Structure 1
């Protein structure tokens, strides 16, 4: 049987035709062909395949399945290749985005390129870093067009780490674009902090982040445009009329609500670290929006950590943070108390026109707050230009300010308590654990003890911290504001928002009688 299967000679009439002698159509339609295949041999259907040395098609019933299998296999391979390509492309994009969000390691003297930079400046990505949730990405060309190529006419402000321009997007949306200086380490940290923190928070009294742009070494953040400048502008700009009392209260309550949201409604809670008048934006209805989260920290990052990098603005920093680096939400509460004192008195946090003993607003206000709370005479502490204030509301604000700037953080109230007190929804004697008018005496007494003992030690610690930090980096910063951080020799003093020119104080809660030294230089 095997020899007749492979013989090229004609076979008997009832024998199965040789594959070389019969074509496929005949095999397909001939009824005798199938029976011999199944009855005369028990061999597998596979053996007929080698019977065609010349490459002719196989016997009936075998070619179509083989061709179908080949076609299906090719299609599956193509689809698998496309799927793998898509996955690889998406993974590559995610890695690129994560890499660009990491703090850059820049050269000592970075390139001055304004739009392009080497991606080699950035370290490998850290797992878990992600872009803002619903924020849009913009190209450099889009933002350049929106700002008329970042023209001076659209410049809203500038500072140590970048510029802020007004822009109009293609859809007509008016935005504020923060352009971080290329090659700045702090600018890179600020960019990452803004993306990680502000993209997660949504509140009517917090400025909204709309998107960002990454182009080489260029980093830009796109915010909602708040049209009415900053609280600092309305309080301290020369020639500005004094705000009426209703606007003043609206700003104080709004800013307090925004800060309370960060501290008590976010998980984990967020510490802003740079609350000041220039970081409170005002809209046309004089509603406040807290801005600039470049220094913000999650509270979990600070619970067991004492920072060796003291970040913030002199004149607003809490004494325990300035001296030891210990950061809690009560540091923000202190800074907000300084803002309240600005609203009450109209003075700057550091006033160079005053004597060295009174150039700090907190040192100046402390005895006046005591007097106002004890005898009800508010004239000495209230801005004389603010003539239409409500006595009860002003008393509430003074009590809140006095509680916020307490020397010891554990005695400062929570921001939600400040909101309720400002709105008149909480008895004032609940501030500072039930101490207000009577609290003023304990407050001053505790302050005196602190000034004569702990304060001098804190000054020494802070001086050492500032000097050591200066050797490695600019550790005290004030981003995107026209202020300069300073380093002082001797018994350090609080530097304000202008360049070092005269004796200053280091922390705004200093006691009286400390020595003032001239600043050795700018950080």
Structure 2
């Protein structure tokens, strides 16, 4: 519905009469006829009904209930399981339905319109299933839309995951929700909600805001699926489904506001006066419009101007429907308050309640289709205007929904197989086919037993063919009966192509050397630039790393992870082919004298990019991956200085939860997690520790280990934390950064590094937290760069630095019985192991 404007109305009495007439008519004709439906609310995998906050969830095994009779399952091997949780857990999350193959729920829809689809996931362990539900990896589809892809219900906060979607169902009839396991995994769901929403809840039109800030009109919103990402009660408390008109969750804004000290909570006890022409009780509940965040400034005109900003992690290069909610509970009177709303700081629009409503305390909202940029963060801000009689700005609520485009045909769901076909085949072919089948079966059983008898580990040693052999290592392993698992044959690159691309490994194209071998620059015949990592010919050293690299990189893709183009294992060669990274390693740009020095903003963006890559490894990939060798030489930069994590030869794959993996200590001196060294128990927090060392490298521009320095200064992590404790950290900051860093940005950056370097892994943040903190540090830096001369300027960053005192980390070295053996460090220098570590020997550090 278009907004009504009243620019020409100035008589308060006329405005009041007009409003009362309008309100009385529209209020009656609006959504008054809508009532919350009683279907479909499904308790999956159970015969018990559960009443949960205005909703009666019907057990999908309860055949006596009329609602359950109107849904059906399609697909094979459905399993209903029960948890071993205590009775204190919600009954809704004590059962689940598990799908071992493609399957679907089918609902009878008798009315077209907008529908809420909510899927509840809670990963519990069960005696009924051999694995924890947190290991499930699957997709969820509905007609024409892929709702979830590569979804896993792993959740560090022991609470359910609720995914909400809004879809338009235009043709009454059968509506299906498909669950599609990935690979050999499975799918599950604890509860499902499918119910009709008020017809005017979502507008089909909105202003389109591009990433560059330009605008146009956008239509067809209702033809897409909307995935709710954020629903924020700005300045107010959490709102649970029990207190929302449409059973929604609204969370406080405290985790998203950048400058909370500049904000002031506002609330009022009286209920808002809804006018359905602008917003109704179904747009947002009253409590959202009764609370707000307002600029906390003096009433004098001399007050400094500033913006209140909220930041949200969103999908990159995607479209989002953004709805901003307002209710003027801060103005002295109507038609006096005007302020700016900003999206990404590149688009702004004026919010004037008089453009929407004519009195105070009347809710209204505006909506935008926003193209997210490549940063992965969407910023929403409010700020004052000079032409307003009141220097104020406020915000009551905010919703961000990702717009899902159509995704083609839905997956095929396997139905019951036709047994009669098998009988006909057997009767026609007779005993001959049966004999052949039995013979093949015996052969396969015998072969499998033979394989198992010689397999003692995941990666068995492989004999190497002599130089000149055209056979591959994979071929040899196949001949011996044990094909390497997860080897993606589609990535194989002929040796002849690599020789052509590198001019027969011309030494003039040599760009680096690592633990695996030499790295060459090359160019394929299609002009694609590549980096070629070649092991020593004929050597079998490093083959486990070679296999691990292929196994890991062949199944993941991410903007901040170096992409594997292919591999070659012909003629005793082990060769990996990657995308070429124009700017080299992060280390080069921190220490090398022949490359430009990075600005502080560039360093922050690089750290954020690398952190996002590790975040994806830990939480976004199949089963979870621990990198195990995070360091500045394994963070590469492309031509635009976009950071990408590289070198996955030491990675460990598998489910990442609160458990650990016992393993031989591997990694690089100076970056090794002290807890990992002592216990040999690897967790994702070992990567967090190493990344904390990288953060210090970025700040101080010195290696993690520098044997040329004396005593306590050898180990960067120990030295920096000691300086921080003594208040002298400023002395070791990279001199080229002097005068560049905003004190608040620097303070947040140091706090983040310190948290990563905590001695015990349980005290360290997750990479999710690290990404958030670094993005906040970048926001503080950018805000400082935009600061006007009259605005506040903080004193020296270190003078005001007040960080919690952290433990000094013990030195970890090796005490040798004879002469101390030197260890070669990343920078080419040598250091005695006893100068660096003191508690145990590490066999595979590199």
Question: TM-score by structure 1 length?
Answer: 0.62
Aligned counterpart for 1:204 among listed residues 552, 556, 559:
559
Q: For residue 322 of structure 1, report the CA deviation from its aligned partner.
A: 2.2
What SS does the corresponding residue of 1:369 show, helix, strand or coil? helix
Is 1:105 paired with 2:461? Answer: yes
Runs of at least 5 residues in structure 1 that lack an aligned partner in the other structure: 1-75, 96-101, 429-436, 464-486
Equivalent in the alignment of 2:180? none
- Higher RCO (C-alpha under 8 Å, 6+ residues apart): 1
Distance in structure 2 (CA, Å) of the matches to 1:176 and 1:337:
28
Is 1:394 paired with 2:723? Answer: no
Is 1:406 paired with 2:770? Answer: no
Contact preservation (8 Å) 1:174, 1:224: yes
Matches within 5 A, 1:6-21: none
- 1:100-145 Cα distance to aligned partner (Å, 9 max, x none): xx856367xx888487678697483546813238x53211111101
Q: For residue 275 of structure 1, report the CA deviation from its aligned partner.
A: 0.5
Q: For residue 406 of structure 1, report the CA deviation from its aligned partner.
A: 0.9
- Higher mean alpha-carbon deviation, 295-304 vs 205-214, is at 295-304
Indicate how the Cα distance of structure 1 residues 162 and 343 shifts in structure 2: closer, same or farther if over 3 A, else same: same
Is 1:306 paired with 2:670? Answer: no
Q: For residue 353 of structure 1, report the CA deviation from its aligned partner.
A: 2.5
Equivalent in the alignment of 1:222? 577
Is 1:380 paired with 2:731? Answer: yes
Distance in structure 1 (CA, Å) of the matches to 2:483 and 2:570:
22
Q: For residue 369 of structure 1, report the CA deviation from its aligned partner.
A: 2.4
Q: For residue 379 of structure 1, report the CA deviation from its aligned partner.
A: 2.1
Contact preservation (8 Å) 1:165, 1:176: yes
- 1:448-500 Cα distance to aligned partner (Å, 9 max, x none): xx74xxx7xx76xx76xxxxxxxxxxxxxxxxxxxxxxx89689998633667
Runs ≥4 in structure 1, deviation > 6 angstroms? 425-428, 490-495, 514-517
- 1:401-435 Cα distance to aligned partner (Å, 9 max, x none): 1111111111010011011011118999xxxxxxx
- 1:59-103 Cα distance to aligned partner (Å, 9 max, x none): xxxxxxxxxxxxxxxxx9xxx9xxx9xx9xxx9xxx9xxxxxx85
Runs of at least 5 residues in structure 2 that lack an aligned partner in the other structure: 1-428, 449-457, 781-800
Distance in structure 2 (CA, Å) of the matches to 1:515 and 1:214:
39
- 1:10-50 Cα distance to aligned partner (Å, 9 max, x none): xxxxxxxxxxxxxxxxxxxxxxxxxxxxxxxxxxxxxxxxx
Aligned counterpart for 1:356 among listed residues 711, 725, 734:
711
Question: TM-score by structure 2 length?
Answer: 0.40
Structure with greater Cα Rg? 1
Equivalent in the alignment of 2:593? 238
Count of residue pairs brought into register by the alignment: 372
What SS does the corresponding residue of 2:662 show, helix, strand or coil? coil
Which structure: greater helix fraction? 1
Q: For residue 381 of structure 1, report the CA deviation from its aligned partner.
A: 3.9
> RMSD in angstroms over aligned alpha carbons?
4.1
Distance in structure 2 (CA, Å) of the matches to 1:125 and 1:293:
27
Is 1:440 paired with 2:796? Answer: no
Distance in structure 2 (CA, Å) of the matches to 1:202 and 1:177:
19
Equivalent in the alignment of 1:131? 487
Indicate how the Cα distance of structure 1 residues 299 and 394 shifts in structure 2: closer, same or farther if over 3 A, else same: farther
Equivalent in the alignment of 1:289? 644
Indicate how the Cα distance of structure 1 residues 288 and 166 shifts in structure 2: closer, same or farther if over 3 A, else same: same
Contact preservation (8 Å) 1:299, 1:328: no
Indicate how the Cα distance of structure 1 residues 333 and 173 shifts in structure 2: closer, same or farther if over 3 A, else same: same
Is 1:334 paired with 2:663? Answer: no
Equivalent in the alignment of 1:258? 613
Equivalent in the alignment of 1:496? 825
- 1:359-409 Cα distance to aligned partner (Å, 9 max, x none): 11011101222355xxxx762242122121222222111111111111111
Which structure: greater strand fraction? 2
Distance in structure 2 (CA, Å) of the matches to 1:488 and 1:345:
35
Indicate how the Cα distance of structure 1 residues 495 and 501 shifts in structure 2: closer, same or farther if over 3 A, else same: closer
Q: For residue 223 of structure 1, report the CA deviation from its aligned partner.
A: 0.9
What SS does the corresponding residue of 1:362 show, helix, strand or coil? helix
